[in-house]
């Protein structure tokens, strides 16, 4: 596999995301929402109006219609449709529904001056913090000049306006297209700046990372990975640690545990089945490792609440 092909293969696995907890958010001018922190990257696509978003520890952002903001896990953004909102508002979840699509209403039952499409990102192969592990700040993407994203935004607005059978599924799919285009832009930017571990076009390491991301349950070991990279064991371990910031087997375990987290969120598989499909021979070993990374055992992780919007406190 060529350097470029291996690099693209690794990025394709990274960009294979699912969008969950999708909701239309309607906000009237003068109102402000404070969004509860979540455990995964969250997307905010501006469908109408101008979004003013502020954070405790990061610069404010302004996003126009057709722009998308990705917020990393743990951040708590304040969102409004004007630069100086007057009052904090609690969005009423489920008060209005567009078919099966949830509406978060902060506009008194009317179309908001600011209209957003919100969704939580979960990778189908490895959760996004592995891929964008150095990204701690919110990211703004301007999708207005991308014809696919522009068409998707227009189609989303039409579906919201005429909710019918399949609208929720179609809107979610269109949001995913916008998110992937946004992440493609970021991947290109990060490749130039050297922020992401996927940025160096090292053919040996790109091949290894692609293999780990594609097959987390495989019995990877230092010897097999070094052979795949075409390096000696010691050279591979040293170069991998320098490029990735962790040892090869630490990276393998992190990928497996992120993969397991995605399965816990998106499937009804048993804990034992998820442990096996993520490359763990023992459920007890899996549970200990999972708790160490995620702070919860697998059962509690699966049952945790996933709030979208909370009242300002």
Structural domains of the chain, ranges and CATH numbers in brackets:
16-193 (2.60.120.10), 203-303 (1.10.10.60)
Rounded average pLDDT over 82-93: 75
Burial class (CB in 10 A: 0-12, 13-18, 19+), 246: middle
Please determine, for residue 50, whether its predicted confidence score (pLDDT) is greater than 90: yes
Rounded average pLDDT over 18-27: 87
The rounded percent of the chain whose pLDDT value lies above 70 is 78
The residue that leads in pLDDT, 306 or 240, is 240
Average pLDDT, the chain: 80
**CA–CA distance, 167 with 304 (Å, rounded to integer):** 28
**CA–CA distance, 13 with 211 (Å, rounded to integer):** 10
State the pLDDT confidence band at 200, using cuts at 50, 70 and 90. Answer: very low
**CA–CA distance, 34 with 181 (Å, rounded to integer):** 27
**CA–CA distance, 24 with 144 (Å, rounded to integer):** 20
Please determine, for residue 78, whether its predicted confidence score (pLDDT) is greater than 80: yes
pLDDT at 108: 77
Q: Is the pTM here over 0.75, yes or no?
A: no
pLDDT at 92: 61
| CA distances in angstroms from 54 to 44, 90, 171, 272, 292, listed in the order given | 13, 17, 26, 42, 31
Rounded average pLDDT over 105-117: 84
Q: Kindly provide the residue ranges of all beta strands, DSSP E only, lying in 49-163, ordered along the sequence.
A: 51-54, 61-63, 67-71, 78-80, 87-88, 92-98, 101-106, 114-123, 139-142
For β-strands 31-34 and 78-80, DSSP reports them as antiparallel
Q: What is the pLDDT of residues 141-192, one digit of tens each?
A: 999 999 999 999 999 999 888 777 888 889 999 999 999 898 887 766 555 5
pLDDT at 93: 58
Q: What is the pLDDT of residues 246-289, one digit of tens each?
A: 899 998 998 898 888 878 877 888 999 999 999 999 999 999 99
State the pLDDT confidence band at 199, using cuts at 50, 70 and 90. Answer: very low
pLDDT at 105: 80
pLDDT at 137: 76
> Are the beta carbons of 298 and 264 closer than 8 angstroms?
yes
| CA distances in angstroms from 262 to 1, 212, 293, listed in the order given | 28, 16, 14
Which of 48-52, 119-123, 127-131, 137-141 is predicted least confidently? Answer: 127-131
Q: Kindly provide the residue ranges of all beta strands, DSSP E only, lying in the chain, ordered along the sequence.
A: 17-27, 31-34, 42-48, 51-54, 61-63, 67-71, 78-80, 87-88, 92-98, 101-106, 114-123, 139-142
> Of the ranges 27-36, 120-129, 200-209, 274-283, which is most confident?
274-283
- Between CA 61 and CA 71, with CA 65 as vertex, the angle to 5 degrees is 40
The residue that leads in pLDDT, 52 or 241, is 52
**CA–CA distance, 56 with 195 (Å, rounded to integer):** 23
Instruction: List own/partner pairs for 215-222 with CB under 8 A and 24 or more apart.
Output: 216/125, 216/126, 216/252, 216/255, 216/256, 216/259, 216/278, 216/279, 217/256, 217/276, 217/277, 217/278, 217/279, 218/279, 219/279, 220/248, 220/249, 220/252, 220/279, 221/249, 222/248, 222/249
Burial class (CB in 10 A: 0-12, 13-18, 19+), 51: buried
pLDDT at 222: 95
| 96 token code pair | 């209005």
For β-strands 101-106 and 67-71, DSSP reports them as unpaired
Give the strands of the sheet with 67-71, arranged side by side: 92-98, 101-106, 17-27, 114-123, 42-48, 67-71, 139-142
């Amino acid at each position: 596999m060529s350097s470029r092909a291996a690099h693209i293969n690794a990025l394709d696995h990274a960009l294979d995301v699912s969008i969950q907890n999708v909701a239309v958010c309607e906000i009237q001018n003068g109102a402000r929402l404070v969004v509860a922190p979540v455990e995964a990257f969250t997307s905010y696509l501006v469908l109408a109006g101008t979004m003013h978003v502020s954070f405790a520890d990061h610069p404010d952002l302004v996003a126009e219609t057709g722009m998308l903001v990705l917020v990393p896990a743990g951040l708590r953004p304040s969102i409004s449709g004007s630069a100086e909102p007057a009052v904090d508002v609690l969005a009423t979840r489920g008060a209005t529904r567009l078919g099966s699509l949830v509406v978060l209403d902060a506009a008194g039952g009317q179309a908001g001056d600011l209209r957003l499409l919100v969704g939580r990102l979960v990778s189908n192969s490895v959760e996004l913090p592995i891929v964008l592990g150095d990204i701690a700040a919110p990211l703004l993407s301007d999708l207005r000049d991308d014809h696919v994203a522009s068409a998707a935004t227009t189609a989303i607005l039409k579906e919201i306006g005429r909710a019918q059978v399949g609208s929720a599924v179609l809107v979610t799919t269109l949001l995913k297209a916008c998110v992937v285009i946004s992440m493609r832009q970021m991947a290109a930017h990060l490749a130039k700046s050297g922020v992401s571990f996927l940025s160096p076009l090292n053919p040996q390491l790109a091949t290894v990372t692609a293999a780990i991301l594609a097959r987390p349950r495989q019995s990877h070991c230092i010897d097999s990975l070094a052979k795949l990279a075409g390096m000696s064991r010691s050279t591979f371990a040293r170069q991998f640690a320098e490029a990735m910031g962790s040892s090869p087997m630490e990276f393998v375990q992190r990928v497996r545990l992120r993969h397991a987290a995605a399965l816990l969120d998106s499937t009804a598989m048993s804990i034992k089945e998820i442990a096996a499909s993520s490359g763990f021979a023992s459920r007890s070993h899996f549970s200990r490792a999972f708790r160490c990374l995620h702070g919860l055992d697998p059962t509690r992780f699966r049952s945790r609440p996933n709030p979208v919007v909370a009242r300002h406190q």
